[in-house]
């Protein structure tokens, strides 16, 4: 696939920006929630990373699945340095034997394969894709055109398909949120360590909040049920609880105040304590209003540099291949 010139100030179409950009680190990323016919709740995630370190450009794929009833988490990571077994085209990203995501006319077809589970999902485009922050440009806390990413999402994708778990096939349905993001920003600087929130309200509205606590910088997007997009950088989010996992500290509970938007005051509380995926910590949370009523679900992605002086995000750790 021909590489695209990166210019966050002059973004083209969603289809064009799907592709690989020159001298960029970028990723295709989906998180979703699913229910079976008995109402059991599951979550899934896949990330396909194209990393550019100058000399080498490893491709990394991660897939994860959590049974929220039992708290059992399944994870698989693979790294490829030579681009064999990897496909990145204008309609498809795939890592042979692990995952594929293909754009069809009216949906994305998502296939995930792990020794403990398989997912085959049809994620319809729903309200469509939306540029985030400043018309698709996210300043990654630090000043300068280099410290940016392009960023868009399909935030509300009605999803149906099949889950195979413990050898049993289960019909599932739910919602998927798909991201394409990438740019020339500094990967290893503490100042660019983020806490990311994707709020998925039950009334089919969404908020994306991208916060950089070390730099006291934030940005975001609010998307209404009828598909209107608004930049959202006037909000206050505070950590209310901190946990320790794998020898590091992580936020694990927040209060949110979004003046003039929806009910304005919310709490974000993990359903189960999260899990380390690659170089980030991920949690699925309840969103509750000021009355304590659950009004949605939120995936949270946290980087170690936010609360830890010595994060484990070294290049050697990034290139480890782990499976459990």
* Residue 4 domain-assigned (yes or no): no
Asked whether the predicted pLDDT for residue 236 surpasses 90, the reply is yes
Q: Does the residue 275 lie in any domain?
A: yes
Q: Judge whether 42 lies within some domain.
A: yes
Residue 316, pLDDT above cutoff 80: no
Reported confidence tier of residue 320, pLDDT bands at 50, 70, 90: very low
Res. 314 pLDDT band, cuts 50 70 90: very low
Does 144 fall in a domain?
Answer: yes
Distance CA 290, CA 256 (A): 10
What's the chain's average pLDDT? Answer: 92
**What is the C-alpha separation between 54 and 154, in angstroms, rounded?**
30
Residues 64, 29: Cα–Cα separation, whole Å: 12
Round to whole Å and give the CA distance between 52 and 186: 11
pLDDT attached to residue 309: 82
Q: How many CB atoms neighbour CB 234 within 10 A? A: 12
What pLDDT digit, counting tens, does each position of 91-145 carry? 999 999 899 999 999 999 999 999 999 999 999 999 999 999 999 999 999 999 9
Question: What is the total count of domains within the chain?
Answer: 1
Residue 6 within any structural domain of the chain? no
CATH number for the domain spanning 36: value is: 2.40.370.10
Its pTM surpasses 0.85: yes
Residue 324 predicted with pLDDT over 60? no
Q: Is residue 108 in a domain? A: yes
Q: What range defines the domain where residue 245 resides?
A: 14-318
pLDDT in tens, 5-61: 999 999 999 999 999 999 999 999 999 999 999 999 999 999 999 987 777 788 999
> Phi/psi of residue 149, each to 5°?
-135, 155
In a domain, 289, yes or no: yes
Confidence of residue 310 (pLDDT cuts 50, 70, 90): low
Cα–Cα distance between 114 and 129 in angstroms, integer? 29
Q: Which residues of 97-119 are buried (b: 16+ CB within 10 A; e: fewer)?
A: ebbbbebeeebbebbbbbeebeb
In a domain, 324, yes or no: no
Indicate whether 79 pLDDT > 60.
yes
**In sequence order, which residues have a C-beta less than 8 Å from that of residue 131 and are 6 or more positions away?**
11, 151, 152, 221, 229
């Amino acid at each position: 696939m021909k590489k695209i010139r990166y210019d966050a100030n002059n973004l083209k179409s969603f289809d064009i920006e799907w592709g690989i950009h020159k001298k960029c680190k970028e990723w295709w990323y989906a998180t979703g929630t699913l229910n079976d016919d008995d109402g059991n709740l599951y979550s899934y995630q896949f990330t396909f990373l194209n990393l550019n370190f100058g000399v080498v450009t490893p491709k990394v794929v991660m897939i994860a699945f959590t049974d929220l009833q039992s708290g059992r988490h399944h994870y698989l990571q693979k790294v490829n340095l030579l681009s064999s077994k990897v496909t990145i085209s204008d309609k498809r990203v795939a890592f042979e034997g692990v995952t594929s995501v293909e754009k069809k006319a009216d949906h994305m077809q998502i296939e995930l394969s792990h020794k403990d589970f398989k997912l085959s999902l049809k994620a319809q485009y729903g309200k469509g894709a939306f540029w985030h922050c400043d018309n698709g440009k996210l300043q990654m806390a630090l000043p300068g055109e280099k410290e940016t990413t392009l960023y868009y999402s399909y935030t509300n994708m009605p999803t149906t398909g099949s889950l195979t778990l413990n050898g049993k096939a289960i019909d599932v349905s739910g919602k998927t949120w798909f991201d394409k993001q990438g740019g020339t920003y500094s990967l290893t600087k503490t100042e660019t360590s983020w806490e990311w929130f994707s709020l998925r309200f039950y009334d089919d509205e969404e908020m994306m909040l991208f916060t950089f606590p070390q730099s006291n910088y934030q940005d975001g997007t609010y998307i209404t049920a009828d598909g209107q997009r608004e930049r959202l950088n006037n909000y206050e989010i505070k950590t209310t609880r901190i946990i320790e996992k794998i020898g590091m500290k992580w936020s694990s509970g927040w209060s949110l105040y979004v003046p003039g938007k929806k009910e304005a005051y919310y709490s974000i509380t993990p359903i189960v304590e999260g899990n380390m995926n690659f170089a980030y910590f991920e949690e699925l949370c309840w969103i509750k209003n000021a009355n304590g009523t659950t009004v949605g679900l939120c995936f949270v992605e946290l980087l170690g540099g936010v609360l830890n002086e010595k994060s484990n995000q070294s290049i050697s750790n990034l290139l480890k291949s782990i499976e459990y």
